[in-house]
Structure 1
């Protein structure tokens, strides 16, 4: 610290000096001329503030220009401007474009790289656009050209809606292509399309098959990733079926060819106007339309489809019905046949569960599966026999036991189960 340095500071008008202040100014290389010029443009500035401005390379001219726009600006705010590279002329332009803008908002603009030209251009489309809305637009990379393109399609589109488009990466070209296919679309519906990746070509294909289709219907169909050709094929087979029902079939992975075949073969047998739930029930039960002919031969003509599918599912075939009739029930009804089969199935399942528990308790070495259980029941192997076998040969497996019993019956089938 030299006397010359202290004298120079005093001559520059910096007279309120303490030893600590002198040391800090000197240590940071603050030039007395710089300090004096800062004091000229900012009379109330403190010595430690001069040091802060010098550290951040904020020169007197910058301070003077900013204070013309913001007379009450603080040193802290000036430093923030400097840290974020905000030019003095940018501050002036932003204040001119947005008279009520605050220094804090200008800093936020600087953080997000929002230039005055961007603000001016956006305000042409939205005269009342707030600084917060401008930041939202800038953050999501929405350019004035994009706004122009979108407002050509939706003249009353709000800044909030445009931001939502930006969030989901929806470009004006995408919007224009969708609008060509669905002129009545709303901005909310376009966002839904964008979220689910529904392309304009997809919309065009569905509109070909369903000219009156709505955006909501397209969204519900597209959410499941179903192909437009799928809908077109089913619509050709079932002209009265709407897209909602076609979607139900697609969600269940029912091939369009199966839908067309079942529809055609059932129509040949008098069953027309099938709904999606009817086709789904037949498909999942692997229903054969030829079963209708068999049921008619049994003596049940024109049954409701529900009963047909239940008869098929419970394996009520021609031979079974004959056996029931011969057992003393010549007038047995369809519902009675179905109930008989239900009872038989429940009894069989209970026997299977009981046998499975017994085998598990006997600790057979191999895994007990459904096929083995069925084989044991068909061969008439009961619990007493299983216990006796286990005591005689603890290492015997179920597979070996089944082979032995088949051999004893002279069964030619050697099924590896």
Structure 2
């Protein structure tokens, strides 16, 4: 009889209640020691080898029957005789019987220890099998117990129509917090063809049956799992959708809803725009305004300053160039009238300040436009320079002439031109920049 058969014999005796678990373990240990002795005897001796006493009481173990095995237990240790009716033996025998019913005939002592640690019982095995759970081997039974998969959990799933899950799927659903109530809620909505991964996806993103029902009531009746997850990930709630619909935005699709939510375009923002008469915008317009921080307050202030028909792109350009309401108001108060968005941008880009504009206009120049002011600023023609030139060369100089002096200095050609124009030139004129 080889070692494998000896172990099976011990397990059969254990299952039949002829020996206790402790006695079975003693026999297994004895078999192991005998195997080690045999191996040692076959190994050539060496000077350093240590002599191990033989187990004479087990020397003929391989030829023993189950009765002989029982009789040899007395030589192993002073254990108490096996009591087949003890609670422990009865539970072990019952568990092994239940496992045998499940098709598991071979159980090791290590298996027994694992099953004991994780409280695998005969009642559990039979109840789970009665619910249709068919683990493949002891490892899967222990796996179910480790993760506390109860018969009640399985029964609740079966009650809502989930009847064909394997062990890994059961454990996966349980670990992800998927309840039978959640699946039942989906099925009440007619959602019955989802696979396990899709159910977990909905559950993990807090997409409840209530959420789906409310979205359906708002017209979104055929959303798939990916669309539902997209909405939830970007905080598109039924309330958000309902408020947009109340504002007249009734034909938005999932991508547009996500786009609005993703860029913080709130129903309040849209309502404030509408109150200003700013209408006819689409989703792209709203996103563009929000992305560039064009607030309703800015639009209202610009309209008060006379800029009543600006487009979305014009508002965005003003903000991008740093043209504030204060800047526009100051330019208007400085005396510039009829400014366009392009004018304001040009002035801002070239650092033309309201103070500069006011000083130039206060000097009495006629027909000063944005182009003049930008040119003066680009070439550093300051109010101080202008006053100095006029003091030296006369008050009748035009801005073009002063700019020419700034660019080229005072040469003979310019002197001649100025004199021809009746400007009296002082000798040794020097202009400060």
Q: TM-score, normalised by structure 2?
A: 0.61
Q: Whose Rg is larger?
A: 2
Distance 1:76 1:6 in 2: 18
Distance 1:64 1:40 in 2: 11
**Pairwise CA distance, 1:110:** 0.5
Distance 2:171 2:12 in 1: 38
Q: Which residue does the alignment assign to 2:114?
A: 52
Quick check: 2:135–2:167 contact (8 Å CA) kept in 1? Answer: no
Q: Does 1:179 align with 2:245?
A: yes
Q: Which residue does the alignment assign to 2:310?
A: 241
**Pairwise CA distance, 1:137:** 1.6
Q: Which residue does the alignment assign to 2:214?
A: 149
Quick check: 2:352–2:373 contact (8 Å CA) kept in 1? Answer: no
**Pairwise CA distance, 1:325:** 5.7
Q: Which residue does the alignment assign to 2:143?
A: 80
Q: Which residue does the alignment assign to 1:113?
A: 177
Quick check: 1:13–1:36 contact (8 Å CA) kept in 2? Answer: no
Quick check: 1:246–1:276 contact (8 Å CA) kept in 2? Answer: no
Distance 2:26 2:401 in 1: 109
- Of 70, 81, 99, the residue aligned with 1:39 is 99
Q: Which residue does the alignment assign to 2:128?
A: 66
- Greater relative contact order structure (CA < 8 Å, 6+ sep): 2
Quick check: 2:15–2:97 contact (8 Å CA) kept in 1? Answer: no
**Pairwise CA distance, 1:143:** 1.5
Quick check: 1:35–1:50 contact (8 Å CA) kept in 2? Answer: no
Q: After superposition, where does 1:151-170 map in structure 2 within 5 Å?
A: 151-153=216-218, 154-170=220-236
Quick check: 1:121–1:144 contact (8 Å CA) kept in 2? Answer: yes
**Pairwise CA distance, 1:114:** 0.5
Q: After superposition, where does 1:279-358 map in structure 2 within 5 Å?
A: 280-281=348-349, 285-286=353-354, 288-290=356-358, 293=361, 297-298=364-365, 301=367, 303=369, 305-312=370-377, 314-317=380-383, 318-322=386-390, 333=401, 336=404, 339=407
Q: TM-score, normalised by structure 1?
A: 0.63
Quick check: 2:14–2:20 contact (8 Å CA) kept in 1? Answer: yes
- CA RMSD across the alignment: 4.2
CA change 1:286–1:293 in 2 (3 A) is closer
Unaligned 5+ segments in structure 2 are 1-9, 30-81, 83-87, 410-433
CA change 1:53–1:7 in 2 (3 A) is closer
Give per-residue Cα distances to partners, 1:148-191, cap 9 Å, x unaligned.
11232222322222223333444322232233333243323333
**Pairwise CA distance, 1:311:** 1.0
Q: Does 1:199 align with 2:266?
A: yes
**Pairwise CA distance, 1:132:** 1.1
Distance 2:163 2:198 in 1: 16
Distance 2:273 2:355 in 1: 30
How many residue pairs were aligned? 328
Distance 1:158 1:132 in 2: 13
Give per-residue Cα distances to partners, 1:243-277, cap 9 Å, x unaligned.
33323434565442432443576663x54565552
CA change 1:330–1:265 in 2 (3 A) is closer
**Pairwise CA distance, 1:144:** 1.0
Q: Does 1:9 align with 2:71?
A: no
Give per-residue Cα distances to partners, 1:27-85, cap 9 Å, x unaligned.
xx673343244234323153244543332223334323433524353333332322333
